Amino acid sequence: MKKILLALLLVVFLVQLHAQDTLPSFSVRNVGNNRIIISWVNNYQMVKQISIQRSLDSLSGYKTILSVADPMTKQNGYVDVKAMNDHMFYRLFIMLDGAMYQFSRSMRPVIDTMHNAEFKKDLGKLDPFGLEVNKPSKFDSLGNGPGINKNKPDVFVPSNYVYTARDGNVHLNLPRADSLKYSIKFYDDNQFLFEIKNLKDPSLIVDKTNFYHAGWFRFELFVNEKLKEKNKFYLEKEF
């Protein structure tokens, strides 16, 4: 009987672990460098709207910082770079079919020690030319995350270096741009769009009009002519 009870408790724990980021639950992670990542997995059959809200108070004062372009996307996320501090509260407003809606519970960011360690490694453990030695890419040819742990949903994680901001444009964050040789290639699915070479400013903005339409786009970021990262970003449709 004890063995059966322990087995049942283990099953319940694994189910909870697997579903912890599934709507209406979500995750909020502080990955360093003034970036808060809000992400979730959507298992609803119909969702009309998902909005991310932020507040200094867990009970009131919430303001919408983003309404996602495609609420039915299975895995989604957003990088908040405008928060006043790293301990604000976040929640999701979720509108379902038939005008039904709900709010998620409020959450504060949890420090992502693994991601912070990787970011510090990016800046601190470089070869004389400023590039990590023989570090494999974390992303496959489609720009998706590794999905190494099959017990956890493979949630899209926006890049620390190339991301869409609140103004709708693509922002580039390039550490040590004055001493490293950066370049970036943009793709619409598998079709090459354009390349920007010899980037020397640590912070740049690529206007969204360069991409002609809304949706997902891929990029390849190079440092000293070696591939640094493959990932993707989403441009919202303007009405």
* Paired strand residues for 79: 37
Handedness of CA 198, 204, 210, 216 (dihedral sign): positive
Regarding beta strands 27-32 and 110-111, do their DSSP bridges make them parallel or antiparallel, or are they unpaired? parallel
Tokens at 197, concatenated: 């070479």
User: Which residue segments constitute the domains of the chain, with CATH numbers given?
Assistant: 20-125 (2.60.40.10), 130-235 (2.60.40.10)
Look up residue 215 and give its two tokens: 């949706």
Place of tokens 């640590």: 202
Q: Given this model, what pLDDT does residue 134 score? A: 37
Mean pLDDT of 148-173: 72
- Which residue would you say has higher pLDDT here, 129 or 181? 181
My answer on whether omega of the bond before 24 falls inside 30° of 0, hence cis, is yes
pTM, two decimals, is: 0.47
Q: Give the pLDDT score at 60.
A: 86
Averaged pLDDT for residues 112-136: 47
Task: Give the dihedral sign, CA 56/58/61/63.
Answer: positive
Span 205-211, mean pLDDT? 88
Q: Which residues is 192 bridged to in the sheet?
A: 187
pLDDT at position 115, please? Answer: 53
